[in-house]
Amino acid sequence: MQAAMAINSLNRPHPSLIPTRSEVGRSDVDTAGKAGCGDCVLGKLCLPRIFTSLSQDSVRGHLNSLVRQNKALLKRKDVLFHQGHEFDSLYVVRTGAIKTVMLDENGTEHITGFHLPGDIVGLDGISTSRYATTAIALDSTSVCTLPFAALEKVASQVPDVQHHVFRIMAQEIQKDQHMMLTLGHRSAEQRLAGFLLRLSQHFQHRHLAADSFRLPMSRGEIGNFLGLAVETVCRILTRFQKIELLQTDGRSVSQLDIAGLKALMSTPVREL
């Protein structure tokens, strides 16, 4: 609960106001986020927001209503969508944080990504029209829904939108390839350093402190995501504290030495 507060100190409804339900229904109109995209704290950082700044009025109105209609509120551990369920929408994280988890053939859970405000979730569902992962809220989280069929329709009418969607998807490809590289070729220390730097960058990009923030996920989740044992994550974190690369207190990180971490990233690369 306090975890949620620090992630983004945005003008968000107090936790106590958040309705409790375990899954977001598609039918019920959520009134929590009545404001249009224009008022959103994400500002320019959001995908739909870029749509609304487009020239053609018809499209703008269309999209604005498309996006506005349902803003879902999730509490910790709520599921946004399930692996294997029919794909119909993309979601933009507005506040909070979400993890996407893939259950493999053997029943093991693998975290494929953490998604912070401004990130888009659900892209993995487009190819098979079923979600390839389960999306779970790590904190109290609000998302905007982008029904994909409608998005496709608008995209086919407005080339700029189409182009933008292509770019969004290509960005995801690049991100995943970078992650492949990390997992295949970097040491535990470097993975963790890179992970922290990426988080830091994310916050900075949103005009939040880059050297001091709260981790929305547990050590175990970090380990799972980075292909490391929990113990390794802990040990490296304490090692980083000893070298003064950062300070931790539970899930909050402070005094992040960004330059130091970057140095760590560049020096000793595994030569395969």
Under the criterion CB under 8 A, does residue 20 sit at the interface with its own copies? no
Position 4 contacts DNA (CB under 7 A): no
User: How many other CB atoms sit within 10 Å of the CB of residue 215?
Assistant: 22
Closest to 4 in 3D by CA, of 106, 101, 78: 78
Pick from 138, 212, 108, 120: which is nearest to 175 by CA? 120
Nearer to DNA, 64 or 112 (CB): 112
169 binds its own copies per the rule CB under 8 A: yes
Residue choice 10, 79, 126, 197 for contact with its own copies (CB under 8 A): 126
- State yes or no: residue 197 binds DNA (CB under 7 A): no
Nearer of residues 64 and 182 to DNA, judged by Cβ: 182
50 Cβ contact partners less than 8 Å away, ≥ 6 residues apart = 44, 164
- Is 230 among the residues that bind DNA (CB under 7 A)? yes
Strands (E), 132-185: 134-137, 141-147
Residue in 163, 148, 149, 157 with CA at minimum distance from that of residue 60? 157
CA gap 87, 206 in Å, rounded: 29
> Is there binding between residue 108 and its own copies (CB under 8 A)?
yes
Give the residue, chosen from 64, 204, 248, 252, that forms a contact with DNA under the rule CB under 7 A: 248
> Using the rule CB under 7 A, is 237 a contact of DNA?
yes
| Residue ranges in contact with its own copies by CB under 8 A | 102, 104-106, 108, 110, 112, 123-128, 132-133, 152-153, 155-156, 159, 162-163, 165-167, 169-174, 176-177, 179-181, 183-185, 223-230, 265-266, 269, 271-272
